[in-house]
Structure 1
Amino acid sequence: MATTLSSIFIGLLILTTLTRLWLARRHVNYVQANRNQVPDAFKQNISLESHQKAADYSSAKTRLAILETIAQAVLLVIFTIGGGLQIVDSVWRSLLPNLEILRGALVILSVMLISSLVDLPFDYYKSFNIDDRFGFNKMTPRMFFADMIKQAFVGLLLGAPILFAALWLMQGAGEYWWFYLWVVWSVFNLLMLAIYPTFIAPIFNKFSPLADDSLKSRIEALLTKCGFKSQGLFVMDGSTRSSHGNAYFTGFGASKRVVFFDTLLDRLDVNEIEAVLAHELGHFKHHHVIKRIIMLFAMSFVGLALLGWLQQQAWFYQGLGVTEPSNYIALMLFLLVSPVFVFILRPFMASYSRKNEFEADAYAAKHADAKYLIEALVKLYRDNASTLTPDPLHSAFYDSHPPASIRIAKLSALQ
């Protein structure tokens, strides 16, 4: 069984990596082939120069993603078949031979740290080469590394308790530890949804109450009309890091709040902002957030049940380069290799997400004016340099939002 697992894993890793590289290359070729012609639906609002900028920006990001895909695949092989995870474990075993839970936490954190260090050059290059070159980056290197340290600190502060809880349950909760962990994990996620807007997001950005009284009145009227109760309307200082614009609502239960990027408010007029908010409210009214939470809980239930079984199989460890089985090694191996096995689900998940976007657009067309949502989207496509001509197959795997031409066509039919 161990040899069979090794063969299946290597085969799937090669297949998924080659598929990702092929899709990326297709996307770049498709975008560049359509670089010199603005789609008919956008000719009046987006110049050829803006269209070419979007094509080049998308291509640059995708070329970087190709290198990152290769690096991640190599690192995964090193950690598994190459015995890297076993080496990390052996180092900590020699230092902490009798403290399994602490040792397990340190092994997992070490692997995560190594992975983050491999990703770091790609993140830095994207911000300070690609985004900088296309006029989007507003960060300084100091801010970039300060954010990275903050993220690591917050991740450790929030993740360490759940990690220790997982290892403690795996060690002492018996055969059904995975079910108890699933309950803890579910409660933890609900708690994070509740506290994120108030306590975590402000660590990274400044949130100020919406000061424009006229806009505030329009938005509050729309919220009342749609039956949405929020903790408040806030403006986020997105311009300190990027010139990209966006809007969203966040939180859960009584902690819900509506957030606008300051860059969005600078670009759109009142009618367009109202239409964008109506779209976000469409997600709320169609219960998309709740449905996603339920889906997350269902997937984590299945995943943890599977891990509970794999943990007891010697071939699971041996087939993935580990000679000394343990609870924490089982958890780490599962986290490392599961993306390879579920890659095939990506187009289904992306399709579901795009369906949600169409539903939110239809809701916005009923409670605002589709014309203004179209105008807002066109501005955002232009100002965010979002390509209007993504490769259809690449889009089917990766895009959570519908391609621009299809989305605008559907909205135009709702006017």
Structure 2
Amino acid sequence: MNAGIVLTALLTMSALLQIWLAARQFRYLQRLAERRLREAGRARVAFACSVTALEFMLTLGLTLGGGIAYLDGFWHDRPAGAAGLVASVVLASVLLHVALRIAYARIVEASLDVARFSLKELLARASRPILPIIIVSAAAGQALAWLMTTAPSTWWLWATLLWTAGLIARVWLISDQPGGGLGTPFLPSSQPLTDPRLAPRLAAALARYGLAGSEIRITVSPPGALRANARLAGTGRSRHVELSDTLLYLLTPAEVEAVLAHEAGHWRCRHVIRDLANRALLSMAGFGALALAMHHPWILGQMAIPDTSPAAWLAAAVALAPLAAVLATPLRAHWRRQMEYEADAFAAAYADKQALMRALEKLDASNATDRAGDPIYACFHHFHPSQTDRRRRLDTMPTRE
């Protein structure tokens, strides 16, 4: 069986699947009464299809188009060649996604009036993570290539442990430190909540949730950012909730408290740890599949990659990531939706569930998002449940006394 033909067939089938899903979502959006949500949904679906097409074109260019073969020839006899080859392939993907992020902000978000950044600001914000990503990719590529050479039968287990350690480090570096820690250059700045009326109320709410002493921080949105959001951050003693300043302007104190209860639910249900475990399992499956493929070196040759070194296999795996995401994303989306339901249940038990629903509706309206959608499309693309599903579940829960 020719691996090149199989790769082309898989990419074609994946593209057709995305087109079919998009068509279903377009038909669903036609039934939405609110024009702004309808147009926002169409724009996002169309842009997602464009992203998929460009990712698949990059995959073909790097594999059958000879991109990896050229890069491998450049790096093959150089010091730290594995690091250079893997980082080069990652750089190609990163540059594509930086361009797509800028295009999304300029075309979609600007038209929906949820962000007003100049092109210079977008370039600065989108390009900041490039250097750290390349450094980490180079180090990971060199380390994985060394593992594949020194432990050919068990490297994939060690690679899973290394990858999981990297995920944990990322949580600590970016999310664990108040104000962003080492990730400060890449995150909005934040400061403690000092509102004399809201701060004591939310502190008392956290104590009621079993999280006394946890800090509440307000992220200062950069000029032009209109999106309202809330998120949990950190673990252990550094755990804290971050609320955007735009969210405080948008919601009433009761609604802010309900959102806080939802975020506390993520903590109490150990969703950070569970999400890390889920991602570790997916990474183990990916490394295991790569280890099996390496027993068949002809696969690379039929994908126009003449070298069969560990670095070449890693570069091919990076290039094939969009194809793997077609399988992994629905599974991750399902896990995340279940976590949202659990956090909603916690919020209903400790706060006003009607205030939570009002807050969610306001946030969706402000951000021009509608979580509802075609059921099959939602299974593949939605990491949050629809408002209808959330309300249906909340209605079955007892009201807090």
**TM-score, scaled relative to structure 2:** 0.91
CA distance in 2, matches of 1:297, 1:229: 30
Match of 2:4 among 3, 6, 13: 6
Native 8 Å contact 2:262 2:347 kept in 1: yes
Native 8 Å contact 2:164 2:276 kept in 1: no
Query: Match of 2:189?
Result: 206
Equivalent positions of 1:160-175 (< 5 A) are 160-175=138-153
Q: Deviations over 1:123-170 (max 9, x none)?
A: 222112221122111322222122233211232344443333223323
Query: Match of 1:127?
Result: 105
Q: Deviations over 1:286-343 (max 9, x none)?
A: 2222111112222222322332332342123123221111111111212322542562
Native 8 Å contact 1:194 1:253 kept in 2: no
Q: Deviations over 1:15-46 (max 9, x none)?
A: 11111122122212321x213x3xxxxxxxxx
Native 8 Å contact 2:160 2:287 kept in 1: yes
SS at match of 2:232: strand
Equivalent position amino acid for 2:238 in 1: S
Equivalent position amino acid for 1:242 in 2: A
Per the alignment, do residues 317 and 229 of structure 1 end up closer, same or farther by CA in structure 2, a change over 3 Å counting?
A: farther
Per the alignment, do residues 119 and 325 of structure 1 end up closer, same or farther by CA in structure 2, a change over 3 Å counting?
A: same
Match of 1:112 among 85, 90, 102: 90
Equivalent position amino acid for 1:77 in 2: L
2:301 pairs with 1:318: yes
How many residues in Structure 1 have an aligned counterpart in Structure 2? Answer: 393
- Please list every run of 5 or more consecutive structure 1 residues that lacks an aligned counterpart in the other structure: 38-50
Native 8 Å contact 2:90 2:134 kept in 1: no
Match of 1:387 among 370, 389, 396: 370
Shift of 1:360: 1.1
Query: Match of 1:48?
Result: none
State which drifts further: 174-183 or 11-20.
174-183
Equivalent position amino acid for 1:203 in 2: P
Q: Deviations over 1:202-234 (max 9, x none)?
A: 213211111113212122212222222565211
Equivalent positions of 1:236-315 (< 5 A) are 236-315=219-298
Native 8 Å contact 2:98 2:126 kept in 1: no
CA distance in 2, matches of 1:341, 1:180: 21
Native 8 Å contact 1:229 1:256 kept in 2: no
Native 8 Å contact 2:98 2:127 kept in 1: no
CA distance in 1, matches of 2:167, 2:197: 36
Query: Match of 1:359?
Result: 342
SS at match of 2:231: strand
Query: Match of 1:43?
Result: none
Native 8 Å contact 1:12 1:341 kept in 2: no
Native 8 Å contact 1:138 1:239 kept in 2: no
CA distance in 2, matches of 1:353, 1:245: 20
Equivalent positions of 1:178-193 (< 5 A) are 178-193=156-171
Identity within the alignment, %? 26
Q: Deviations over 1:75-124 (max 9, x none)?
A: 2112112222112212333xxx253xx22222222222222333344322
CA distance in 2, matches of 1:389, 1:296: 26
Native 8 Å contact 1:250 1:259 kept in 2: yes
CA distance in 1, matches of 2:155, 2:350: 47
Native 8 Å contact 1:275 1:370 kept in 2: yes
Native 8 Å contact 1:194 1:255 kept in 2: no
Shift of 1:367: 0.1
SS at match of 1:234: strand
2:142 pairs with 1:145: no
Q: Deviations over 1:157-211 (max 9, x none)?
A: 4444333322332333453233323222222222222221322442132111111
Match of 2:385 among 398, 402, 409: 402
2:329 pairs with 1:329: no
CA distance in 2, matches of 1:6, 1:194: 41
Equivalent position amino acid for 1:196 in 2: I
Native 8 Å contact 2:206 2:214 kept in 1: no
Query: Match of 1:41?
Result: none
CA distance in 2, matches of 1:184, 1:120: 27
SS at match of 2:129: helix
SS at match of 1:240: coil
- Please list every run of 5 or more consecutive structure 2 residues that lacks an aligned counterpart in the other structure: none
Shift of 1:371: 1.0
Query: Match of 2:31?
Result: 34
2:24 pairs with 1:19: no
Per the alignment, do residues 397 and 230 of structure 1 end up closer, same or farther by CA in structure 2, a change over 3 Å counting?
A: farther
Native 8 Å contact 2:91 2:134 kept in 1: no
Match of 2:47 among 58, 61, 64: 64
Query: Match of 1:217?
Result: 200
**TM-score, scaled relative to structure 1:** 0.88
Query: Match of 1:42?
Result: none
Native 8 Å contact 2:203 2:212 kept in 1: no
CA distance in 2, matches of 1:373, 1:363: 11
SS at match of 1:321: coil
CA distance in 2, matches of 1:138, 1:183: 41
State which drifts further: 167-176 or 322-331.
167-176
Native 8 Å contact 2:56 2:322 kept in 1: no
